[in-house]
Amino acid sequence: MKYLRFVKNGQNLFGVLEGESIRQLDSDFLNESAKFTGEVFQLSDVKLLPPVNPGQVIAIGLNYALHAEESGKAIPDEPMIFMVSPTAIVPDGEEIVLPNLDHRIDYEAELAVVIGKQAKGVKKEEALDYVFGYTACNDVSDRNLQKKDGQFTRAKSFATFKPLGPVIETELNPNNVEIKLTVNGEVRQHSNTDDLIHDIESLIVKVSEVMTLNPGDIIITGTPSGVGPLKPEDEVVLEIEGIGKLRNKVVDGSKQAGLQAEEPHTA
Ligand code: MG
């Protein structure tokens, strides 16, 4: 099933997507008691929200061999784990705002795992039992800051740097789906999650060895080769087989309030 969150008549609602129709749920789908209300909306009549509002966004670096190679890094023998702020998340259709046009800011197509029940010290054979479903995430990254800091949090946590959606698909083999990203219609990344160095079960095991995962938390699982820079006016489409298309336009945020040095006060 395809689960989503949306706004209608000023209310944040939950639902299941069937074709172009949304069947409303009476509460959050992460809660097992959610029921259909009987209300149906058309997808074209609502505004999508990110399909989940995670407490934690756990990210995995260098999880496709060809991407490790293009980054000039060795393949890690264990998943490389870091965290980014959930406040960077935006839904399908919202703009990616570039705060500094002098920096190289890249797209990164990734499969995101949405946790369905609390997980700690999970065994590999049970790992997928803790998953609610899967969605797409564009792990937008400021390479200048990533290099300068040596830590990834600042480079990857600016507002709008984590487009997420459009829906959460629950029926998916996460270790064999096609993943593709286009910029202005041109294919830039095209791979399959069967190329992951550490598969989805291994990621859940390794992350849950360290921290407790709660329902709604997401793990973004790394990007394939072909990463490259974004510029204002670019139209980015991240498509994952079975999930759909996450579309976001890029805009210049260098002149937006709060993102640049203040004008000096004049008398
Ligand atoms: Mg990434």
pLDDT in tens, 5-59: 999 999 999 999 999 999 999 999 999 899 999 999 999 999 999 999 999 999 9
pLDDT, position 225? 95
Assign 75 a pLDDT band (cuts: 50, 70, 90): confident
**Distance between Cα 38 and ligand 1 center (Å):** 39
Residue 263, both tokens: 């004008």
Q: Check: pTM over 0.85? Answer yes or no.
A: yes
* pLDDT above 90: residue 264: no
Task: List, for residues 199-229, the tens digit of each pLDDT value.
Answer: 999 999 999 999 999 999 999 999 999 999 9
Per-residue model confidence (pLDDT) at position 262:
47
Q: What is the pLDDT of residues 109-160, one digit of tens each?
A: 999 999 999 999 999 999 999 999 999 999 999 999 999 999 999 999 999 9
**How far apart, in whole angstroms, are the C-alpha atoms of residue 192 and residue 54?**
25
- b/e per residue 125-153 (b: at least 16 CB within 10 A): eebbebbbbbbbbbbbbbeebbeeeeebe
Distance of CA 12 to the CA centre of its chain: 20
pLDDT value for 267? 45
> What was the pLDDT predicted at 261?
47
User: 153 C-alpha to center of ligand 1: Å?
Assistant: 11
Is the per-residue pLDDT at 265 higher than 80? Answer: no
Give the pLDDT confidence score for residue 259 in this predicted structure.
54
What is the set of domains in the chain, with CATH numbers?
A: 2-48 (2.30.30.370), 57-256 (3.90.850.10)
Centre of ligand 1 to C-alpha 43, Å, is: 29
The overall average pLDDT reported for the chain is 95
Report the separation in Å between the CA atom of 250 and the middle of ligand 1, taken as the mean of its atom positions: 18
Q: How far is the CA of 8 from the centre of ligand 1 (A)?
A: 32
